[in-house]
């Protein structure tokens, strides 16, 4: 194999405890240890358009860290870059693209399973916040109680602002039993929950023995908590909608740290206001950032954050390490995390 010319696309750190230089240093350290690499260049690549990605790829043999979408993976772009043989994203998720076409050009495309534990942890954090509303109760203990006591000497110190929900023995339904979904399933089992799952393909192996794999309709009917961990595609667009919600238990909790497109947001809002769904914890929206304030953002029964589940410093650095490891595996003839 010829010496490799590599281009790296690294997004903004987007968090206060990590600098771009630290990410760049991680890339430099890892890539410098691969003798097959002749040179590399690192670009800060937040919000690049597809044409800008390809302009920077130039005559490179490999591009690491691109955001893979159908718009990026056009045949006309790939034709113009005949040296490119390896393309990766730093994320778990990716958009739909023409897989057979990429194979015709002998282009290997990979993703990076860096954040199973991190994103699953965030899903459980959303669930626990719904169950306990700890910040509101801590705020009352710190400030609210003393304000009330100044007016009423008999103000209650023990005061709740939402029902306290025990998860032990309840059923946790995982839609999408990939790496993140499996991590979430293990965490839920650790809380004493019964775990069921639905995936397009049944998972096989002793590590899955604690999970009962069921049909989607069974999962919707049996779950007390439903957590979405499947990739987004045209096939599952708005899979959580009026019809699927009607099959759920009354008072179910819905968690989504996957993709906003999995949910019909108008139908979810209505189900929350009707109290069919007790609460929703969402880290993703259909449109990010939203162009206007959608009803879900004002819904008292929804907790919505701005797609931050993946942000811990540990997971960001792990993503770099795994992307380099995946590239080295491809160079040595045993590619991993291949998505095409």
pLDDT tens-digit series, residues 183-230: 999 999 999 999 999 999 999 999 999 999 999 999 999 999 999 999
- Report the pLDDT value the prediction gives residue 15, as an integer from 0 to 100: 85
Give the CATH number of domain 4-115+313-331.
Answer: 3.40.50.720
How confident is the model over 162-189, as pLDDT tens digits? 999 999 999 999 999 999 999 999 999 9
Q: Do domains 4-115+313-331 and 116-304 have the same CATH topology?
A: yes
* Residue 93 pLDDT > 90: no
Which residues are the active-site residues? 259, 288, 307
* Residue 299 pLDDT > 80: yes
Calculate mean pLDDT across residues 33-57: 94
Could you give the CA distance from residue 286 to residue 263 in angstroms, rounded to a whole number? Answer: 8
Calculate mean pLDDT across residues 39-67: 94
Instruction: For residue 96, give both structure tokens.
Output: 């739909």
- Report the pLDDT value the prediction gives residue 5, as an integer from 0 to 100: 97
Distance from chain centroid for Cα 290: 18
Calculate mean pLDDT across residues 128-157: 93
Calculate mean pLDDT across residues 84-100: 94
Higher pLDDT, residue 45 or 10: 10
Burial class (CB in 10 A: 0-12, 13-18, 19+), 186: middle
Give the CATH number of domain 116-304.
Answer: 3.40.50.720
Percent of the residues in the chain that have a pLDDT greater than 70, as a whole number:
100
- Report the pLDDT value the prediction gives residue 46, as an integer from 0 to 100: 79
Sorted by where each begins, the domain ranges of the chain are: 4-115+313-331, 116-304
Higher pLDDT, residue 327 or 45: 327
Percent of the residues in the chain that have a pLDDT greater than 90, as a whole number:
92
Asked if 57 and 81 touch (Cβ cutoff 8 Å), the reply is yes
Could you give the CA distance from residue 164 to residue 304 in angstroms, rounded to a whole number? Answer: 20
How confident is the model over 285-298, as pLDDT tens digits? 999 999 999 999 99
Question: CB atoms < 10 A from the CB of 307, how many?
Answer: 16
Pairing of strands 4-10, 62-64: parallel
* Residue 1 pLDDT > 80: no
* Residue 317 pLDDT > 70: yes
Q: Which residues are registered as beta bridge partners of 338? A: 110
Calculate mean pLDDT across residues 7-27: 94
- List helix spans (H) across 215-290: 216-222, 242-246, 265-273
Per the prediction, the chain carries an average pLDDT of 96
Calculate mean pLDDT across residues 74-93: 95
- Report the pLDDT value the prediction gives residue 14, as an integer from 0 to 100: 85
Calculate mean pLDDT across residues 111-125: 95
- Report the pLDDT value the prediction gives residue 115, as an integer from 0 to 100: 86
Calculate mean pLDDT across residues 18-41: 97
Side-chain half-sphere CA neighbours of 246 within 13 A: 3
Calculate mean pLDDT across residues 320-326: 97
- Report the pLDDT value the prediction gives residue 47, as an integer from 0 to 100: 79
Is the peptide bond between 289 and the residue preceding it cis, with omega within 30 degrees of 0? yes
Q: Which of 13-22, 110-119, 122-131 has the highest mean pLDDT?
A: 122-131
Helix, strand or coil, per DSSP, at residue 320: helix
């Amino acid at each position: 194999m010829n010496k490799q010319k590599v281009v790296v696309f690294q997004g903004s750190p987007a968090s206060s405890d990590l600098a771009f230089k630290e990410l760049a240093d991680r890339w430099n350290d890892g890539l410098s240890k691969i003798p097959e690499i002749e040179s590399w260049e690192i670009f800060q690549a937040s919000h690049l358009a597809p044409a800008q990605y390809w302009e920077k790829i130039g005559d490179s043999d490999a591009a690491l860290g691109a955001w893979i979408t159908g718009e990026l993976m056009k045949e006309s772009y790939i034709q113009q870059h005949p040296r490119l043989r390896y393309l990766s994203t730093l994320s778990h998720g990716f958009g739909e693209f023409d897989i057979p076409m990429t194979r015709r050009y002998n282009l290997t495309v990979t993703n990076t399973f860096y954040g199973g534990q991190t994103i699953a942890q965030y899903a459980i954090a959303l669930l626990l916040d719904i169950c306990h509303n700890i910040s509101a109760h801590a705020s009352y203990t710190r400030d609210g109680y003393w304000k009330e006591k100044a007016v009423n000497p008999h103000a209650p110190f023990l005061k709740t602002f939402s029902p306290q929900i025990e998860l032990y023995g309840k059923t946790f339904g995982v839609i999408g039993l990939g790496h993140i979904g499996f991590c979430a399933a293990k965490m839920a089992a650790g809380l004493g929950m019964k775990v069921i799952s639905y995936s397009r393909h049944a998972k096989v192996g002793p590590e899955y023995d604690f999970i009962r794999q069921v049909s989607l309709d069974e999962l919707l009917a049996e779950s007390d908590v439903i957590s979405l961990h499947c990739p987004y595609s045209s096939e599952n667009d708005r899979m959580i909608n009026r019809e699927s919600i009607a099959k759920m238990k009354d008072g179910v909790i819905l968690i989504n740290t996957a993709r906003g497109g999995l949910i019909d947001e108008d139908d979810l809002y209505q189900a929350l206001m009707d109290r069919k769904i007790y609460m929703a914890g969402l880290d993703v929206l259909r449109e990010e950032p939203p162009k206007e304030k959608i009803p879900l953002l004002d819904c008292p029964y929804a907790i919505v954050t701005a797609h931050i589940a993946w942000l811990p410093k540990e997971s960001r650095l792990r993503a770099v390490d795994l992307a380099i490891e995946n590239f080295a595996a491809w160079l040595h003839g045993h590619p991993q995390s291949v998505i095409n």
